[in-house]
Amino acid sequence: MQAIGTRVKLILKRNLLCLSLVLIFFSCLPPQNRGVRHPLKGDIDANRIRVLVIKTKSPVSIGSNQKFVIREKESSKLIHEFNGRTISFSPDKVTGPLVVNSWDSPISVNGMEFNGDMELYNVLGSIYVINVVLMRDYLMSVVPGEIPARWDIEALKAQAVASRTYAYYHIIKNKSSKLYDLDSTTSFQVYKGVSSLNPVTNGAVAQTSGEIVSHKGIPILAYFHSTCGGKTADDSDIWTGIDEPYLRSVSCSFCKESPHYEWEARLSLSGIRESLEKNNHHLGNVKSISFRIKSGRVAEVMVRHTQGLCNLTGNQFRLLFSTDQVKSTFFHSKSSGKELLLSGRGWGHGVGLCQWGAKGMAENGKAYKYILQYYYRGGRIEKVRFNSMLN
């Protein structure tokens, strides 16, 4: 018995020595290696995403209510340590990449608060402020920014999966080529930091943790929009160079309750010319405008003017105007003197998930997976698999 006890003691000492060496190794890692972008196996939504929240030539105010530090990104050298202050960064003072860490509270950027860390870069005289944040925290802000939190939970879960899929698509696309994965505007997904958090949409993110829509084993380009107006758009009819099999037009009878299901607009010829000029289309006085319709939507716009012809896609034409004026490419027009009268349906580009359609389907008892597979035909709902995607 004494010999056995001695062996047990030796084994315990050996294991404790190994554990101590492991702890020493990890405690000595430099700060930039503690937040790597590869996944934490136990929690897929603990991966980090890089979001551009500010791009400006003006000074940027950054601070926290608690302790925060500023380090050089490459060397991790400590530059300053503050407690409950706000610091102004002008472009000329950001000579190399900086990292701002705050462990106890969000970091404010020009008055908006964000979880995670901030990285600052000087790019051709402009400050780029990039929020490096957990996917979970990012989605908890995005979902209520894109869809009302009061909607049915199945619609919220469909949005959470679509937004997660869209984010991971861009992480994979940009993993080695850009400073950031996406920005915080409607050009990608609306991200407002901690100000938009809501317990209901937080639940939708948690209940779908790690789930994406995939095609051939990778996240799809999960476009979504407010209201399709009765039929979603084929991606190839909206954008040139995009023709994904899961972004085909589908009938949708579920978004009729949307306030944007039908709309009207008046456009003057002079107003059209002014909008074209603002977008670097130089032309003379507008003589006529004609539209080519494909699958019910405006695919091409031809503007004849005193100096020639200007061609645009239907989506380019839509984006010349405010989002509440020409709401979609799903319209027809008639001339009235020097004006065009537009009668349209839907709001947004019309590709992929129809958010008001998801609401209608959820209220009729459809689960979020059914909703997603209805709008993303051929898509598969699965957990993110990183070995084949990110490595």
Average the pLDDT over each of 162-166, 190-194, 205-209, 287-291 and give the range with the smallest value.
287-291
Task: In whole angstroms, give the CA distance from residue 215 to residue 380.
Answer: 6
Bridge pairing between strands 182-183 and 98-101: unpaired
Please check the confidence at residue 104 and state whether its pLDDT lies above 70.
yes
Residue 8 banded pLDDT, cuts 50, 70, 90: very low
Distance from C-alpha of 207 to C-alpha of 45, rounded to nearest angstrom: 11
Task: Compute the mean pLDDT over every residue in the chain, rounded to the nearest whole number.
Answer: 87
pTM of the model: 0.85
Residue 7 confidence class, pLDDT cut points 50, 70, 90: very low
Mean pLDDT of 361-372: 98
Angle (CA) 369 375 377, round 5°: 90
pLDDT for the residue numbered 338: 84
Residue 15 clears pLDDT 50, i.e. is over it: no
Residue positions counted in the chain: 391
Domain residue spans in the chain? 44-135, 262-345
**pLDDT above 80: residue 10:** no
b (16+ CB within 10 A) / e for 41-52: eeebbebbbbbb
Rounded distance between C-alpha atoms, residue 263 and residue 324, angstroms: 9
